[in-house]
């Protein structure tokens, strides 16, 4: 697990995100936060192990994520967690306790650490506003190397760090985008950077009918050789 110093620095980062959220209003699903008894300015920035080799990167929070204070714990997130559990332990999880165990072995985050109203995608202006904090999280706080992005919005978040033609050619090829990887040098506004291996997957939603049934096998392929 991550050391106390790393956790302390992440706590300061969370406070900086909360200060930015309070500075100027933006769309947020206030009734969900009120029902959960959560401060709507308080970010759900990440969950899991800051030293884990493998991370997952989603779009934003859902109702369950706000209530539980963890990314990727709703219906789609549980599908991810089931796949991780099976890769780690060779068997399907037996309940919520098993699904919770996987945060010891992976890192979980999103493009924006808040829940949009009606689960609508946040506009680019909001993602841009919180990008510097997510950059710091990925570059300076998480020490892993393989980042599995979930869905179009989460994957396209990395497009500014790549040659656009290289990214667009990769993303346009269905035989490549969910099986190959892209090295991405993510950099912060302070000029610090490091290279991550981006491994896109489709979003594991039942509404994503084309890929939903294929998701477990694609996830298994992505995890093979990376989890210990």
CB 73 within 8 A of CB 98: no
Q: Residue 3's pLDDT band (boundaries 50, 70, 90)?
A: very low
Residues, the chain: 228
Q: Residue 1's pLDDT band (boundaries 50, 70, 90)?
A: very low
Could you tell me the fold of the domain covering 4-223? Uracil-DNA Glycosylase, subunit E (3.40.470)
Rounded to an integer, what distance in angstroms lies between the CA atom of residue 10 and that of residue 96?
26
Overall pTM > 0.75: yes
Residue 7: per-residue pLDDT: 65
3-state secondary structure 37-71: CCCCCCCCCEEECCCCCEEEEECCCCHHHHHHCCC
The answer to whether residue 131 scores a pLDDT higher than 50 is yes
In the predicted model, what is the mean pLDDT of residues 177-184? 95
Residue 133: per-residue pLDDT: 98
- Domain definitions of the chain by residue range: 4-223
Residue 5: per-residue pLDDT: 52
């Amino acid at each position: 697990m991550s050391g106390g110093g790393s956790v302390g620095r992440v706590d300061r980062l969370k406070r900086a995100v909360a200060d930015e959220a309070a500075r100027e209003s933006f769309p947020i699903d206030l009734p969900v936060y009120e029902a959960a008894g959560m401060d709507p300015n308080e970010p759900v920035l990440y969950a899991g192990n800051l030293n884990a080799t493998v991370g997952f990167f989603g779009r934003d929070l859902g109702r369950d994520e706000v209530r539980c204070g963890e990314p990727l714990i709703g219906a789609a997130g549980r599908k991810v967690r089931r796949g991780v559990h099976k890769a780690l332990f060779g068997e399907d999880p037996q309940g919520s306790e098993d699904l919770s165990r996987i945060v010891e072995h992976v890192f979980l985050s999103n493009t924006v650490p808040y829940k949009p109203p009606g689960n609508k995608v946040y506009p680019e202006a909001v993602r841009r506003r919180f990008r510097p904090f997510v950059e710091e999280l990925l570059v300076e706080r998480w020490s892993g190397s393989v980042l599995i992005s979930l869905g179009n919005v989460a994957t396209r978040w990395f497009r500014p760090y790549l040659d656009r033609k290289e990214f667009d050619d990769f993303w346009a090829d269905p035989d490549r985008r969910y099986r190959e990887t892209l090295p991405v040098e993510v950099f912060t506004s302070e000029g610090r950077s490091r290279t991550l291996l981006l491994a896109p997957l489709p979003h594991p939603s039942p509404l994503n009918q084309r890929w939903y049934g294929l998701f477990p096998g694609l996830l298994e392929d992505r995890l093979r050789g990376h989890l210990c």
